[in-house]
């Protein structure tokens, strides 16, 4: 496939100037002429990735200009994954989408904007990084040593709204999965999830806003969020006590792909595909790891392994039936999440 060929191209660039020189002379004259014109890409991602992309994009644009002579600029948009998905379907011209979950990317595919089979076009099923659920506590009134502690009467949980936030959907699926993956029934999972959301007084629109509500506004005494968010918060000086359940936790897999309809219409496919391929290089993977994401590159993961506790039973969305079943059972209008909220 075209994209696989260019993945080799990017890896070749990283190997050194000799290889890159060979690649440079392989460009067709018309291609070189085309690439001499500046190009602009629009990256649409979810809220908590911004710190990483602020470091990665300059590295890519410098490399691309060095290798092709073409200047690349980026427009960037960050918000809740569900919100971004709807915006793209409604007309936001994104060349590249890096959303919180494959379910949102599939919705764009179903709208006819991304070609089927995108998961197989990049390494690791197009999962560029991952995370797990972390539980942040504010004070001694909220001691969390296990998932079941979230149902205690003295707990007020801050988690984002699964209707607008990809991170919140992961939180919801983690709650369900820790019951069913440890031998519990769907009925027991429903009762546990109900009890947890009963302790959630507000549902911010995305994971970043959930962090702000907890940290800056002082609401709640437990924040349910991404592991990478608590690592980043600590790096920025917010000292917290957090607990990452290691008996059972969910692998929060974050995919990336190009939006085929947009890159073909705008003539940006080549550079857009080169960018998403670049995200899997060790250089880009280290930037994701620096802000707390679990990199998909095994070598880079090993370099940063001290910041990631080992999860004994790490389950995936496939263990919960796959995205189609998850959407139907939990998040469609009138499905289990809506039933839980209406019963609060």
* Contact assessment for residue 252 and residue 132, using Cβ atoms and an 8 Å cutoff: yes
Q: What is the reported pTM?
A: 0.85
pLDDT at 33: 40
38 in the Ramachandran plot: left (φ > 0), alpha (ψ -120 to 50) or beta? beta
Q: Is the pLDDT of residue 173 over 80?
A: yes
| Reported confidence tier of residue 10, pLDDT bands at 50, 70, 90 | low
User: What digits encode the pLDDT tens for the residues 131-140?
Assistant: 999 999 987 7
**pLDDT score at 8:** 46
CA distance 297 to 211: 28
C-alpha 318: how far from chain center: 17
Per-residue pLDDT at 238: 78
Q: How much of the chain exceeds pLDDT 70, in percent?
A: 90
> What is the rounded distance in angstroms from the CA atom of residue 85 to the CA atom of residue 21?
39
Q: What is the pLDDT of residues 119-166, one digit of tens each?
A: 999 999 999 999 999 999 987 777 899 999 999 999 999 999 998 888
Average pLDDT over residues 285-309: 97
pLDDT at 73: 98
Token code pair at residue 309 = 């506790």
Stretch 83-93: mean pLDDT, rounded?
Answer: 95
Question: Half-sphere exposure of 165 toward its Cβ, with a 13 Å CA cutoff?
Answer: 25
At 333, which helix (H) or strand (E)? none
The token pair at 234 is: 């600590």
Q: What is the largest CA-CA distance in the chain?
A: 70
Please, what is the average pLDDT of the chain? 89
The band of 16, judged by pLDDT with boundaries at 50, 70 and 90, is very low
């Amino acid at each position: 496939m075209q994209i696989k060929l260019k993945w080799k191209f990017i890896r070749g660039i990283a190997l050194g100037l000799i290889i890159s020189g060979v690649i440079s002379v392989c460009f067709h004259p018309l291609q070189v002429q085309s690439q001499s014109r500046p190009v602009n890409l629009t990256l649409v991602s979810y809220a908590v990735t911004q710190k990483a992309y602020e470091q990665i994009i300059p590295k890519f644009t410098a490399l691309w200009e060095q290798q092709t002579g073409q200047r690349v600029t980026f427009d960037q948009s960050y918000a809740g994954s569900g919100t971004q998905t709807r915006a793209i379907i409604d007309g936001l011209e994104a060349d590249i989408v890096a959303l919180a979950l494959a379910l949102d990317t599939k919705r764009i595919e179903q709208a006819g904007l991304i070609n089927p089979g995108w998961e197989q076009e990049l390494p690791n099923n197009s999962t560029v990084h991952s995370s797990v659920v972390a539980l942040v506590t504010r004070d001694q009134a909220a001691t969390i040593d296990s998932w079941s502690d979230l149902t205690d009467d003295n707990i007020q949980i801050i988690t984002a709204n699964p209707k607008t936030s990809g991170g919140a959907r992961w939180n919801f699926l983690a709650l369900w999965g820790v019951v069913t993956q440890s031998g519990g029934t769907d009925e027991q999972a429903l009762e546990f999830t109900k009890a947890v959301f009963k302790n959630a007084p507000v549902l911010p629109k995305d994971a970043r806003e959930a962090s702000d509500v907890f940290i800056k506004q002082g609401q709640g005494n437990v924040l349910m969020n991404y592991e990478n968010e608590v690592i980043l918060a600590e790096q920025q000086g917010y000292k917290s006590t957090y607990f990452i359940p290691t008996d059972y936790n969910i692998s929060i897999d974050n995919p990336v792909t190009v939006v085929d309809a947009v890159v073909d219409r705008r003539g940006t496919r080549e550079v857009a595909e080169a960018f998403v391929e670049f995200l899997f290089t060790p250089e880009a993977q280290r930037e994701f790891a620096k802000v707390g994401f679990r990199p998909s590159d095994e070598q880079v993961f090993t370099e940063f392994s001290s910041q990631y506790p080992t999860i004994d039973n790490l389950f995936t969305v496939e263990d919960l039936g796959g995205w189609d079943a998850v959407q139907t059972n939990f998040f469609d209008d009138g499905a289990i999440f809506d039933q839980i909220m209406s019963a609060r």
